[in-house]
């Protein structure tokens, strides 16, 4: 195998494992999830290198994309709860079914629009 390619592979894999270690060791939920998303995107890059573009596409879209979005919203809820947000507005159980729209100003989930800007 050409030496250059071996070097390239080594850098790819070192970064991959580095990202995984960082994601696993990060105690702050939000940064852990973001590192996990970065890990998933890097993994899809590695799989494209290994001749698996189908799987790379699926991993980037499903594993890193939707999985990351799911975990990110869970992490936001957790950060909010830990920082003393009022948990009684957490929509769940029968409360929310009577009022699916909720009160926009008091719901803890409602800041996503602001965060996303």
Partner 1 sequence: MNRDLALLIGILVSLFAALLLWIFYATLVGDPVARLGPLALEQLPASGVSHPVTAVLLNYRAYDTLLELAVLLVALLGIWSLGPAPSGFRPAGPALTVLANWILPLAILTSGYLLWVGGHAPGGAFQAGALLGSAGVLLRLAGHERAGLPAEAAQRWLVVAGVAVFLMVGLLLAAFGEGFLTYPKAVAKWLILLIETAATLAIGATLAAAYVGGRPPGIRSPCPSSESPSSGNPSSGHARS
Partner 2 sequence: MNAAFLYGSAGILLFALGLWSFLVHEPLLRKLIGFNIMGSGVFHLFIAVAHNGDGAAPDPVPHALVLTGIVVAVSATALALALNSRLEAAAAKASDAEAGSRGAPERAPSSAHHLRWPSQ
Question: Which of partner 1, partner 2, none binds 42 (CB below 5-8 Å, type-dependent)?
Answer: none
Question: Which of partner 1, partner 2, none binds 102 (CB below 5-8 Å, type-dependent)?
Answer: partner 1
**Best CA proximity match to 11, nearest among 37, 68, 49:** 49
Q: What is d(CA 4, CA 35) in angstroms, rounded to the nearest whole number?
A: 28
Q: What is d(CA 21, CA 42) in angstroms, rounded to the nearest whole number?
A: 13
Using CB under 8 A as the binding rule, whether residue 9 contacts partner 2 is answered as yes
Burial annotation 69-82 (CB, 10 A radius, 16+ → b, else e): eebbeebbbeebee
Min separation Cβ 101 and partner 2, Å: 18
Site for partner 2 in 86-115 (CB under 8 A): 87-88, 90, 92-95
**Best CA proximity match to 63, nearest among 77, 49, 42:** 42
Which residues of this chain interact with partner 2, rule CB under 8 A? 1, 5-6, 9-10, 13, 16-17, 20-21, 23-24, 27, 29, 32-33, 36, 39-40, 43, 46-47, 50-52, 54-55, 58-59, 62-63, 66-67, 70-71, 74-75, 77-78, 81, 87-88, 90, 92-95
């Amino acid at each position: 195998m050409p030496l250059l390619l071996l070097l390239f592979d080594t850098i790819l894999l070192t970064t991959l494992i580095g990202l995984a270690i960082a994601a696993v060791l990060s105690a702050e939920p939000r940064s852990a999830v973001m590192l996990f998303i970065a890990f998933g995107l890097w993994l899809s890059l590695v799989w494209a290198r290994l001749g698996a573009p189908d799987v790379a596409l699926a991993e980037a879209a499903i594993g890193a994309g939707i999985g990351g979005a799911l975990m990110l919203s869970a992490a936001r809820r957790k950060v909010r709860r830990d920082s003393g947000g009022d948990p009684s507005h957490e929509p769940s159980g029968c409360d929310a079914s009577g009022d699916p729209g909720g009160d926009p100003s008091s719901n803890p989930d409602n800041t996503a629009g602001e965060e996303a800007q």
